[in-house]
Amino acid sequence: MQMNISRSQFLKQLGVSVAAFSVGGSLVEALGQMSPVLSTPTGVSGDLKPISVNSGPGFGNRLAITFDDGPTPGVTERVLTELKKRDLRASFFMIGRNVKNNPDLAKRVFDEGHELCNHSYTHPKLDSLSDDRVREELLTCQDAIYKATGYTPVWLRPPYGAFRNKSHIAKDLGLGIAMWSVDPRDWAQPGAQRITDTIVTQARPGSIILCHDLHMQTADAVPNILDRLLDRDYEFINMSGFLGQPYVA
């Protein structure tokens, strides 16, 4: 059943019934904290549990498409061009080192209205590092993105989704943890057609779709991914439009 609601109704519901669109036990618990979090005027309270999501609201017909591991010269531009042609917004979880090496490309992503997010500085398995090293990876990435764009990300995606026992560090830095619900495994380069089919078959209202602006195959797939999801009347929305800004009033 599809619900037709206005944007203001959507935002209102987001504030009062966040637990309704979550999946997984710990996530329900974490999202239950979002209402008080959203009303916290400044900073991050030590009492709040880390915010972690792998999908957005299931009402309405919205989804988020996300691109990890860029910016990658030659690939990211192609993704941007296809998004711009259709006037769509996405979220880019950037590797800080890549931002430092390609600041103009990171700035272009930002200038074209997409949300920039943290994907660590060197893409290690964060849960195998000390807390100090994790903090350094996250902060150095924040710094690289800020230097290139003037924007400070509010969402983190840990590389490989590996973040066991580290989520308190993200919370300390004011970063919500954004996992995903649709994974076409495009990093394994199964072919553009298969990437597209997997995404279109698995997409649901509320999906967070994981892609990588790292390989040409993904860029090849993007036009069809976008067009086929648009054919199904999906609205594309970035992470903070979807879920609000974690820990921010």
Q: Which residues bind Zn ion (CB under 5 A)?
A: 68-69, 159
Q: Which of 68, 69, 186, 213 is catalytic?
A: 68
CB of 195 to Zn ion, least distance (A): 16
Measured CA to CA in angstroms, residue 66 lies from 114, 147, 217 at distances of 10, 22, 16
Q: Are strands 115-118 and 208-212 parallel, antiparallel or unpaired?
A: unpaired
The residue behind tokens 């042609």 is: 85
Which residue, 57 or 159, is less far from Zn ion as judged by CB?
A: 159
68 is catalytic: yes
Q: Which of 30, 40, 42, 45 is nearest to 167 (CA)?
A: 30
User: Are the CB atoms for 74 and 86 separated by under 8 Å?
Assistant: no
240 membership: H or E segment, kind and range: helix 239-243
Instruction: Specify the amino acid at residue 111.
Output: D
From CA 75, how far away is CA 85, in angstroms rounded?
A: 16
Which residue, 49 or 97, is less far from Zn ion as judged by CB?
A: 97
CB of 228 to Zn ion, least distance (A): 24
Which residue, 153 or 244, is less far from Zn ion as judged by CB?
A: 153
Q: Which of 114, 119, 212, 215 is catalytic?
A: 212
From CA 83, how far away is CA 92, in angstroms rounded?
A: 12
Provide the 10 A C-beta neighbour count for residue 217: 20
Which residue, 71 or 159, is less far from Zn ion as judged by CB?
A: 159
CB of 108 to Zn ion, least distance (A): 20
CB of 119 to Zn ion, least distance (A): 6
Catalytic annotation, residues: 68, 212
